[in-house]
Amino acid sequence: MSKVLLLNGSAHQHGCTATALDEMIMVFEAEGVDTEVVQAGSKDIRGCISCGRCSETGRCVFDDLVNEIAPKFEEADGLVIGSPVYYGSPNGSLISLLDRLFYSTPFSKHMKVGAAVVSCRRGGNTASFDVLNKYFTISGMPVASSTYWNQVHGFSAEDVKKDAEGLQTMRNLARNMTFMMKAFADAKEKYGYPEVESKFFTSFPDGK
């Protein structure tokens, strides 16, 4: 059975972002996909200080939600990151969590399926969507798409429930993500995953 980890980056457990994620969970459960939601947006999460200790220990030096989520992320076949839009960007505490989670974990994220979901009243949605997708694309994670950008609109959960197209987008996203996880699992058995090169690290230390 495939498993999806969903991170709710909103401080409101039953708000706009949760409403979008719930619509996906409804489809995942109907498709036989196991789900787990982690409420991350209300947690006190500090940013990365680039100490490098994680390269020695395999975990972040700050022992908080990041280290709790790490084994769940490793076990999952897919990751959904949901966030409200704050000043044209995702929730700052969520960004701190993602920076440390992706940087400190030594396990491969290769071919885990990723999906970003954003909620906003009006603007800043596509900019936030772009920020979240970068965590996937630097990690070899295929990005699931839908029939529109993965966003819902509203100032409250009740508003989002009226966003028929936004909720439809969430359902189609969950179906596409389910298909991708199952297809990749089959392809891994048949072909194996693509080789990943990691030899080169260009930094131009001489300024040339």
Burial 32-51 (b: 16+ CB within 10 A, else e): ebebebbbbbebebeebeee
pLDDT score of 203: 87
Whole-prediction pTM value?
0.95
CATH classification code of 3-190: 3.40.50.360
Distance CA 48, CA 100 (A): 6
C-alpha–C-alpha distance, residues 40 and 68, integer Å: 11
Q: Radius of gyration (Cα) for the chain, nearest Å?
A: 17
Kindly list the domain boundaries of the chain, sorted by start residue.
3-190
Question: In this structure, what are the phi and psi dihedrals at residue 35, rounded to the nearest 5 degrees?
Answer: -130, 150
Angstrom distance (rounded) from CA 16 to CA 139: 28
Higher pLDDT, 201 or 4: 4
Output the pLDDT for position 205: 73
pLDDT tens by residue, 7-51: 999 999 999 999 999 999 999 999 999 999 999 999 999 999 999
